[in-house]
Chain A
């Protein structure tokens, strides 16, 4: 394998974030110790090859903030375009900051895992830090749009969203645009305070030979609710790592995902839910549809720690392969150290239901439309969980 991780980071700029020095040092040690990009011999990368990523020639995307403010209409928009952030006027109880003014008190909870997070810590050029005050309900959705462009760009961002106790918000995140031979490493940290509620929908829909690495880390406090819907459609290369830390009692976590791959797309979803506290629930449901030579990975892990009694954890993954050359590697994992828990997991992969296809055609519906209807029906559970009307519309177009 070509270039070392240190060489890869050198192509980019040193981080502009004010990270705690211990974390920065941990990241430096991490890339030095790991040295090269991981190979398929390492479990988290068993089905995702990084050779092409390691060989990318990149120049960093520098980031400015526009003084110009966007008008707030139905959504509170934060748009990244042409190396610039554009942001809506702040509203009461909602604070939006750029250029690495992250909430460092929240950092105490974090550690760094793996080369993606190490690269992010060492080279992040900025990010959006959003804070919602305690007991504040932000009614309009907050929308973060990343419009990618250019060739050989390396976009490294670290976002943070802190919800105060009993606060609630709805977030919509978009990755769109066209970019060639480019790399993005975008990390979100979500801190969900006691009794707080965050609903987040994410659409990954980039064109071109773009390599997208997306990390979401979620820290949940007592009685909080977090729901994330990740929709990945026709992207060249996407790796999602979602890691949930249910730290206190009474949390509910929902992780839903839909991935649609065509041509040579590679879409990898890794999730990891840590149940460290009792009386919590988690519900995970990922569905994939792959055609042509697309490959997909689902690796979902739920770990129930020894003192985490009365956990209800559900995990389901279903995939449809529309061609003989499409591949899915699915691995549901449960690790349970408590004795009074209810957990289930399952993964199925198959073809389109031929009986259903015959039935629809026998009612006069063309084969291609019937196929679309069945795929839409298959995805309905996930689409139904998406609150963002923009993502709903994008999905309808995509599935029609």
Chain B
């Protein structure tokens, strides 16, 4: 589904990703762990197409297409979803309104007719229940006055509504208490299928107790330096990143 080869990316002239390679197949859950400043969030931003980052070399193919050639919205329409580390508040723009626009733009892109108002509302009801998001929050302005946990659950709610092929969760666990973490994880696990894939970016092992990864990668200094199964996350939790650094 996703193939990243020797990716180099920089921001304001500083190279952050220094030859990252990664392949994700449909039905897989991958976790990327790593210390602060390793380039985890940069990877998420580059995948979503954030224009602040410059890709200096390397390739990313998504479903056999050149992802780097696509605009931000094209990537989303093709099925790439980024759950934001810091979800933005947008006063005056209602959650459901923007989601309706997003869903219908995606459907138009795929040549599917727009969703009827009735079907849309049914979907909102079904998917907001999945992450215990109060229906009144769904109709409020995007993230305005939401608690930290509500914002993160709202991200997963949007993911549930848009049904992406590849979901990238950028430190979705940061700032979450254990209950919210469970709800978020339950949402992600429910949405998992043989046709989609998930890339979980996290600092800590605790999210991986709830979302069980098939592969764990350690990102250090802009490169993936170690790949293993879920037991690698446990080893990291126990030994810290210094263990990897000294193994370098």
Contact = CB atoms under 8 A, between A and B. Distances in A.
A317 to B, nearest CB: 16
Given A359-B84, A373-B98, A364 B162 contact: yes
A365 B88 contact: no
A379 B102 CA distance: 21
Contacts of B48: 358, 362
Contacts of A374: 90, 93
Interface stretch (B28-36, B70-78, B208-216): B70-78
Interface string B86-124: 011011110001110111011001000000000000000
Nearest to B161: A363
B158 A373 contact: no
A376 interface: yes
A29 B91 CA distance: 50
A356 B72 contact: no
Interface in B125-167: 141-142, 158, 162
Interface string A367-400: 1011001101111110000000000000000000
B49 interface: yes
Interface residues of B, number: 32
Nearest to A384: B92
Given A362-B49, A377-B141, A367 B73 contact: yes
B206 interface: no
B76 A362 contact: yes
B88 A353 contact: yes
Given A358-B50, A373-B98, A363 B90 contact: no
A58 interface: no
B206 to A, nearest CB: 26
A356 B92 CA distance: 12
Interface string B32-74: 0000000000000000111100000000000000000001110
Contact of B98 (A353, A365, A379, A381): A365
B105 A366 contact: yes
Contact of B105 (A353, A358, A369): A369
A356 B158 CA distance: 15
A353 B89 CA distance: 10
B98 A361 contact: no
B76 A379 contact: no
Contact of A363 (B51, B91, B98): B98
Contact of B102 (A356, A358, A365): A365
B184 interface: no
Given A358-B50, A359-B84, A377-B141, A365 B92 contact: no
A360 B98 contact: yes
Contact of B93 (A361, A362, A377, A381): A377
Nearest to A364: B76
B76 A359 contact: no
A372 B109 CA distance: 19
B127 to A, nearest CB: 14
Given A362-B82, A364-B109, A376 B93 contact: yes
B73 A361 contact: yes
A355 interface: yes
Contacts of B93: 356, 360, 373-374, 376-377, 380
A324 B247 CA distance: 52
A296 B49 CA distance: 34
A355 B105 contact: no
B92 A363 contact: no
Nearest to B90: A356
B37 to A, nearest CB: 21
A363 B102 contact: yes
Contacts of A376: 92-93
B162 A363 contact: yes
A28 to B, nearest CB: 49
A122 B103 CA distance: 59
Contacts of B103: 364
A364 B106 contact: yes
Interface in A322-379: 353, 355-356, 358-367, 369-370, 373-374, 376-379
B154 to A, nearest CB: 11
Nearest to B144: A377
A356 B143 CA distance: 11
Contact of B158 (A355, A363, A378): A363
Given A360-B98, A377-B92, A365 B50 contact: no
A359 B90 contact: yes
Contacts of A356: 88, 90, 93
12 contacts: A359-B88, A359-B142, A361-B49, A361-B72, A362-B48, A363-B98, A363-B99, A364-B103, A364-B105, A364-B162, A369-B105, A380-B93
Given A360-B90, A362-B73, A362-B84, 16 more contacts: A353-B88, A355-B88, A356-B90, A358-B50, A358-B51, A361-B73, A363-B102, A363-B158, A365-B73, A366-B73, A366-B105, A373-B93, A373-B97, A377-B91, A377-B93, A380-B91
Interface of A: 353, 355-356, 358-367, 369-370, 373-374, 376-381
